[in-house]
Chain A
Amino acid sequence: MKDKKLANKRSCLILGGTSEIGLAIANKFAENGFDLILAARNYDEVQKNANNINLRFNVKTDALKMDILDVTSQNKLIDELQFLPDIVVFSIGLLDKGKTAEENFEIAKEIIDVNFTYSLNILNKFAALFEARKFGAIIGIGSVAGDRGRKSNYIYGSAKAAFATYLSGLRNRLFQSNVRVITVKPGFVQTKMVAHLDLPKIITASPEKIAKDVYKAFVHKKDIVYSLKFYKLLMLIVYHIPEILFKRINL
């Protein structure tokens, strides 16, 4: 990294700069005048996304390559940063589809690695940098799937639960250093991750709606936000169903 001081303008780094939620969040911050750095594994696509944001919102943008499952690539990303951004948004995720993760450990491991193990590593690095600077915000995209294990996606859910617990600890650790940690828990989102599921419209949010909620949470200094809001109530209920009953439910 060339300069660890603050950028002149407010800036935001999106890890997962080709994910639909990540892009919607990038658009939202750009709309509010933030400069954007997008990082993703597919450099060609993330470059196009960065150019698009630059032209649409007239903010500075940069594109960087990063493979979440490669620690060297993570380190390289940090080296390549022109400056330390104000905000880091983590929106990389891998969903389990059907039974495969239960039967195949390699797949289960990849889900846990992407959603937790390697996420933890890169966020630890930013946490240390922000802590030293005594300023910053880390926004992690979790999932309501982490609130309670359901038979349809509990491997993904358990990784997301670990991620949420990690963010909670990070929030506690960084509070004194003026670094904020925001956990966002979307419910069903209309993205390609769930394009194969037939989802009821009323409980499905667009990536743009999630982005709006994320930005609001950032502005209002929230710790944990559900998007849609309805999920906060729903998950409260789901969370409190006794296990003896919950295990019989078909979810």
Chain B
Amino acid sequence: MEISGWGNFPKIEAEMVSDAYFSNIQEIVSKSSQIIPNGLLRSYGDSALGKFCFSSAKLNRFLLFDKESGLLTVESGVSLLEINKIFIPQGWFLPVTPGTQFVTIGGAIASDVHGKNHHKVGTFGNFVKSIKLLLPNSQIVDCNTNEDSEIFKATIGGIGLTGIILQAQIMLIPITSPLIEQTTLKSENLDELFENFSKYNNTTYSVAWIDTFSNNSQLGKGLLFLGEHFNAKDKENKSIEIKKTSKITIPFNFPSKTLNPFFLRIFNYLYYSKEFKKEKKSLVYFDKFFYPLDAINHWNRIYGKNGFAQYQFVVPIDNSKKAIVKIYQIMRDFGQGSFLTVLKQFGDENGFYLSFPNNGFTLAMDFAINRKTLEMFDAFDKIILEYGGRLYLTKDSRMSNKFFHKTYEDKIDKFKEIKSKVDSNNKFNSLQSKRLAL
């Protein structure tokens, strides 16, 4: 079958197998010459793609939950959606969540995903207490910060290259309501937006949307979304109902000219203008706050059949503003605009070898794939390199081996050391790992 990541680029003809029994999975791995595990294929690029894939689809059981501590043990194919559906009504929530619920636990670990609270609590990996991992030699190990800690640190953020994650223990956090108190702040330019980020650095959740088409003095015109878990004071509302939200489905790939600059400009203008006041407070359901795009099935189809790529970088805090201004300059030179541009301030880096977040600002932009955008990405890369930044492997489908090694310089050696220890034949590889010589 033909598979691709969420960006629909690149595509590959692949054989997919799945199983729930450890002994069968061991046999699958020992018989294969090369393999890569994957889940819901929500990585954007080629990090979960290979000719022979182990799908976690059948590893989808909930195994244990400790109602005192919130420690949840699940198999790796369980999705965040399923966890939310079961545990939000019981008063528990994911400690860190990316912008979609259609992600498996295995995928969340392998990408070491981050959320709107990174500046406060760090990545998903910080809440993983242990991992049951099937190593490339088919041996099964339980790893955590004490036992096989180096394998643990290589596996979190290790994009599936250290083996198959079978089970994991995750610490959930207690909540009293499925509601989020949201504050929306308008900013007129980048300075104001950055000020707002630092002013509200103590707020649990924060993320900003930027109008891609405002330039020069207006660059950074956007909306900062802040959120706190709503504290339900009266405990009468013990059972928290999850409201069903209606869904829209994009039924087919849009013609590639749909997202032309004119359309994008209008969309961005309207999105900004829908907020009249400088500051707005509202109470919203968790899914509207955390997963706005999940309400549109197959939103990736709006980029057309050639697919799209998300360019997500992080640049250290002192260089962030300069880098963003330059990136915008390049985007304008190329006459391109991103449909959705998201800015977020990260907290400190963690000790997982290939983890992406780093103290600074991260910017994510979506572009339909074509020759021009690929050229533009190369131009972006030069800026990122110059300012000491790096790209998120989970979103990448095109960066060069050389660029990758320069930007992950300080982390890559340790990862490679562990990788060669557990997988000397490089059995676990993806299109991306081959491209990046990982």
Which A residues have a C-beta under 8 Å from some C-beta of B? 45, 48-49, 51-52, 55-56
Of the residues B20, B21, B62, B86, contact of A51 by C-beta under 8 Å = B62
**Which residues of B59-103 have CB atoms within 8 Å of chain A's CB atoms?**
61-65, 75, 82, 86
How far does the alpha carbon of A52 sit from the alpha carbon of B75 in the complex, in Å? 10
Which B residues have a C-beta under 8 Å from some C-beta of A? 20-21, 61-65, 75, 82, 86
**Shortest CB distance B85–A (Å):** 9
How far does the alpha carbon of A232 sit from the alpha carbon of B403 in the complex, in Å? 63
Chain B: which residue is nearest A51 at the CB level? B63
How far does the alpha carbon of A56 sit from the alpha carbon of B64 in the complex, in Å? 11
**Shortest CB distance A178–B (Å):** 36
How far does the alpha carbon of A45 sit from the alpha carbon of B63 in the complex, in Å? 11
Report whether B62 and A56 are in contact in the complex, using a CB–CB cutoff of 8 Å.
Answer: yes
Knowing that A48-B61, A55-B64 are A-B contacts, what are 8 other residue pairs whose CB atoms are under 8 Å apart, sorted by A's residue number?
A45-B21, A48-B75, A51-B63, A52-B61, A52-B62, A52-B63, A55-B63, A55-B86
Name the 7 nearest CB pairs between A and B, nearest first. A52-B61, A55-B62, A52-B62, A51-B63, A48-B61, A55-B65, A56-B62
8 contacts between A and B (CB under 8 A): A48-B63, A49-B61, A51-B62, A52-B62, A52-B63, A55-B62, A55-B63, A55-B86
**Shortest CB distance A15–B (Å):** 19
How far does the alpha carbon of A49 sit from the alpha carbon of B20 in the complex, in Å? 11
**Shortest CB distance B254–A (Å):** 28
Which residues of chain B come closer than 8 Å to A45, judged between CB atoms?
A: 20-21
Which residues of chain B come closer than 8 Å to A48, judged between CB atoms?
A: 61, 63, 75
Which residues of chain A come closer than 8 Å to B63, judged between CB atoms?
A: 48, 51-52, 55
**Shortest CB distance A106–B (Å):** 24
How far does the alpha carbon of A48 sit from the alpha carbon of B20 in the complex, in Å? 10
How far does the alpha carbon of A56 sit from the alpha carbon of B90 in the complex, in Å? 12
Chain B: which residue is nearest A45 at the CB level? B21
Which residues of chain A come closer than 8 Å to B21, judged between CB atoms?
A: 45
**Shortest CB distance B41–A (Å):** 21
Which residues of chain B come closer than 8 Å to A52, judged between CB atoms?
A: 61-63
Which residues of chain B come closer than 8 Å to A56, judged between CB atoms?
A: 62, 82, 86
Chain B: which residue is nearest A57 at the CB level? B86
**Shortest CB distance B60–A (Å):** 8
**Shortest CB distance A48–B (Å):** 5
How far does the alpha carbon of A49 sit from the alpha carbon of B62 in the complex, in Å? 8
Which residues of chain A come closer than 8 Å to B64, judged between CB atoms?
A: 51, 55
How far does the alpha carbon of A49 sit from the alpha carbon of B86 in the complex, in Å? 16
**Shortest CB distance B90–A (Å):** 8
How far does the alpha carbon of A52 sit from the alpha carbon of B74 in the complex, in Å? 9
How far does the alpha carbon of A55 sit from the alpha carbon of B64 in the complex, in Å? 8
How far does the alpha carbon of A56 sit from the alpha carbon of B86 in the complex, in Å? 6
**Shortest CB distance B5–A (Å):** 26
How far does the alpha carbon of A52 sit from the alpha carbon of B86 in the complex, in Å? 11
**Shortest CB distance B18–A (Å):** 10
**Shortest CB distance B242–A (Å):** 14
Which residues of chain B come closer than 8 Å to A55, judged between CB atoms?
A: 62-65, 86
Which residues of chain A come closer than 8 Å to B86, judged between CB atoms?
A: 55-56
How far does the alpha carbon of A110 sit from the alpha carbon of B160 in the complex, in Å? 41
Which residues of chain B come closer than 8 Å to A51, judged between CB atoms?
A: 61-64
How far does the alpha carbon of A51 sit from the alpha carbon of B65 in the complex, in Å? 9
How far does the alpha carbon of A52 sit from the alpha carbon of B21 in the complex, in Å? 15
How far does the alpha carbon of A203 sit from the alpha carbon of B138 in the complex, in Å? 38
Which residues of chain B come closer than 8 Å to A49, judged between CB atoms?
A: 61
How far does the alpha carbon of A45 sit from the alpha carbon of B23 in the complex, in Å? 11
Which residues of chain A come closer than 8 Å to B20, judged between CB atoms?
A: 45
**Shortest CB distance B176–A (Å):** 19
How far does the alpha carbon of A55 sit from the alpha carbon of B82 in the complex, in Å? 11
**Shortest CB distance B93–A (Å):** 16
**Shortest CB distance B91–A (Å):** 13
**Shortest CB distance A246–B (Å):** 37
How far does the alpha carbon of A76 sit from the alpha carbon of B61 in the complex, in Å? 27
**Shortest CB distance B82–A (Å):** 8
**Shortest CB distance A137–B (Å):** 27
How far does the alpha carbon of A52 sit from the alpha carbon of B61 in the complex, in Å? 5
Which residues of chain A come closer than 8 Å to B61, judged between CB atoms?
A: 48-49, 51-52
**Shortest CB distance A77–B (Å):** 22
How far does the alpha carbon of A105 sit from the alpha carbon of B75 in the complex, in Å? 40
**Shortest CB distance B433–A (Å):** 29
How far does the alpha carbon of A94 sit from the alpha carbon of B65 in the complex, in Å? 34
Chain B: which residue is nearest A54 at the CB level? B62
Chain A: which residue is nearest B90 at the CB level? A58
Which residues of chain A come closer than 8 Å to B62, judged between CB atoms?
A: 51-52, 55-56
How far does the alpha carbon of A51 sit from the alpha carbon of B21 in the complex, in Å? 16
How far does the alpha carbon of A186 sit from the alpha carbon of B64 in the complex, in Å? 33
**Shortest CB distance A50–B (Å):** 10
Chain A: which residue is nearest B63 at the CB level? A51
How far does the alpha carbon of A135 sit from the alpha carbon of B320 in the complex, in Å? 72
How far does the alpha carbon of A48 sit from the alpha carbon of B22 in the complex, in Å? 12
**Shortest CB distance A57–B (Å):** 9
**Shortest CB distance B61–A (Å):** 4
**Shortest CB distance B68–A (Å):** 15
**Shortest CB distance A129–B (Å):** 31
Chain B: which residue is nearest A52 at the CB level? B61
How far does the alpha carbon of A45 sit from the alpha carbon of B65 in the complex, in Å? 17
**Shortest CB distance A150–B (Å):** 30
Chain A: which residue is nearest B61 at the CB level? A52
**Shortest CB distance A53–B (Å):** 9
**Shortest CB distance A193–B (Å):** 14
**Shortest CB distance A83–B (Å):** 24
**Shortest CB distance B280–A (Å):** 38
How far does the alpha carbon of A9 sit from the alpha carbon of B86 in the complex, in Å? 21
**Shortest CB distance A27–B (Å):** 11
**Shortest CB distance B407–A (Å):** 41
Chain A: which residue is nearest B87 at the CB level? A55
Chain A: which residue is nearest B89 at the CB level? A58
**Shortest CB distance A95–B (Å):** 18
How far does the alpha carbon of A40 sit from the alpha carbon of B181 in the complex, in Å? 48
Chain B: which residue is nearest A49 at the CB level? B61
